[in-house]
């Protein structure tokens, strides 16, 4: 039965990703959207096949909850490496590696602050919002090029303890960033200064990852520093997927140390509600011996809800892997 589910999910993901990327491949754009097509005629079709097979493999593996922590993190870091490699090659070697060639800073905070400062939406915020509508908070557990680094660095350490006053810092940073993006626009602060400040913010974030997340074994950057992550926490509710803690939970707290987003503290387990920072990553599901942690989508069973969630997140991950570049 389990094997059949693995294959079912895997084949569905393969067909969906192949279909979506085939549409992308046939679009009549100034430059082909799939990178391989830019180098070899019909190479885009090879890319469609390879990425669809890769997505199907992930689907097959991740049907087993015990495999989720390993394969989710691996695929997320692959996404980040591909994204940043294309960016660096595009800037230093040839613009063929870029999507539009219009450079913007690859710092997640800019997805929030950029539109406030410019007074208009661009492609990145639209892409970001579409992931929230389809998969809720999965931006911060599957797609973000920065979060993958926080996940990888914190994942090498055992979680130590909860961060005191982390939430106060998180929401203060969120409000300060929004205020200054608006303020700079109002008083007409130029691009040079705002770009420098954004780079400084990004570098500080890298420091948070390598010093704090690394030290405490928790995704401190994503949970307490990144304003885009805070926005995800606030607006993820527009998507109907949830993680529930059912009454079979004995408060043994086995899952607590697994959650790198600090969303399974004792008070969360007692109230049967994961913390606001839960990204539906799914790492905790297998850690519970009582099957008390479950995905929920409307009144569907937890297994069906989880399968639909995996289908959506893995498919989007694969499609972004093929087309998300600056």
Q: Which residues bind ligand SF4 (CB under 6 A)?
A: 108, 139-140, 144, 146-147, 150, 222, 226, 228-229, 232, 243, 258-259, 261, 263-264, 274, 278-284
Looking at the Cβ atoms of 36 and 113, the one nearer to ligand SF4 is 113
Residue number with CB closer to ligand SF4 (13 or 284): 284
Q: Which residues contact 235 (CB under 8 A, 6 or more apart)?
A: 132
Q: How far is the CB of 65 from ligand SF4 (least distance, A)?
A: 11
CA distance 320 to 315: 9
18/255 with CB nearer ligand SF4: 255
DSSP label of 213 = I
Shortest separation between residue 317's beta carbon and ligand SF4, angstroms = 13
Taking each helix axis as running N to C, give the angle between helix 68-92 and helix 43-62, from 0 to 180 degrees, rounded to the nearest 10. Answer: 150
Q: Between 15 and 200, whose beta carbon lies closer to ligand SF4?
A: 200
Residues 305 and 296 sit within 8 Å (Cβ to Cβ): yes
Task: Output 59 or 229, the one with its CB closest to ligand SF4.
Answer: 229
Which CB, 95 or 303, lies closer to ligand SF4?
Answer: 303
Smallest separation (angstroms) from ligand SF4 to the CB of 111: 7
**Cβ-based neighbour number of residue 211 at 10 Å:** 12
Distance in Å, CB of 92 to ligand SF4, minimum: 24
What region, left, alpha or beta, does residue 300 occupy, with left being phi > 0 and alpha being psi -120 to 50 degrees?
Answer: beta
For 48-58, b where at least 16 C-beta lie within 10 A, e where not — what string? beebbebbbbb
Of 14, 65, 106, which is closest to residue 280 (Cα–Cα)?
Answer: 65
């Amino acid at each position: 039965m389990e094997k059949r589910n693995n294959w079912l999910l895997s084949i569905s993901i393969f067909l969906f990703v192949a279909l979506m990327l085939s549409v992308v491949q046939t679009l009549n754009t100034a430059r082909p959207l799939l990178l391989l097509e830019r180098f070899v005629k019909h190479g885009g079709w090879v890319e469609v096949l390879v990425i669809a097979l890769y997505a199907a493999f992930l689907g097959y593996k991740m049907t087993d909850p015990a495999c989720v922590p390993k394969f989710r993190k691996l695929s997320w870091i692959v996404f980040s490496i591909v994204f940043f490699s294309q960016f660096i090659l595009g800037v230093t070697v040839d613009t063929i590696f870029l999507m539009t060639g219009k450079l913007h800073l690859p710092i997640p905070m800019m997805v929030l602050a950029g539109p406030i400062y410019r007074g208009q939406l661009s492609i990145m915020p639209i892409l970001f919002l579409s992931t929230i509508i389809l998969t809720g908070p999965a931006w911060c557990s599957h797609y973000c090029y920065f979060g993958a680094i926080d996940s990888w660095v914190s994942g090498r350490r055992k979680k130590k303890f909860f961060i005191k006053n982390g939430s106060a810092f998180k929401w203060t940073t969120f409000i300060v960033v929004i205020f200054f993006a608006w303020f700079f626009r109002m008083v007409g602060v130029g691009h040079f200064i705002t770009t420098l400040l954004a780079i400084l913010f990004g570098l500080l974030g890298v420091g948070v990852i390598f010093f704090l997340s690394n030290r405490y074994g928790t995704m401190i950057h994503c949970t307490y520093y990144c304003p885009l992550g805070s926005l995800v926490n606030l607006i993820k509710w527009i998507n109907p997927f949830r993680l529930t803690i059912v009454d079979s939970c004995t408060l043994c707290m086995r899952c607590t140390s697994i959650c790198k987003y600090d969303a399974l503290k004792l008070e969360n387990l007692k109230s049967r509600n994961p913390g606001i920072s839960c990204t539906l990553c799914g790492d905790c599901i297998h850690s519970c011996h009582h099957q008390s942690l479950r995905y929920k989508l409307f009144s569907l069973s937890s297994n069906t809800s989880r399968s639909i969630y995996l289908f959506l997140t893995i498919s989007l991950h694969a499609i972004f892997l093929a087309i998300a570049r600056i």
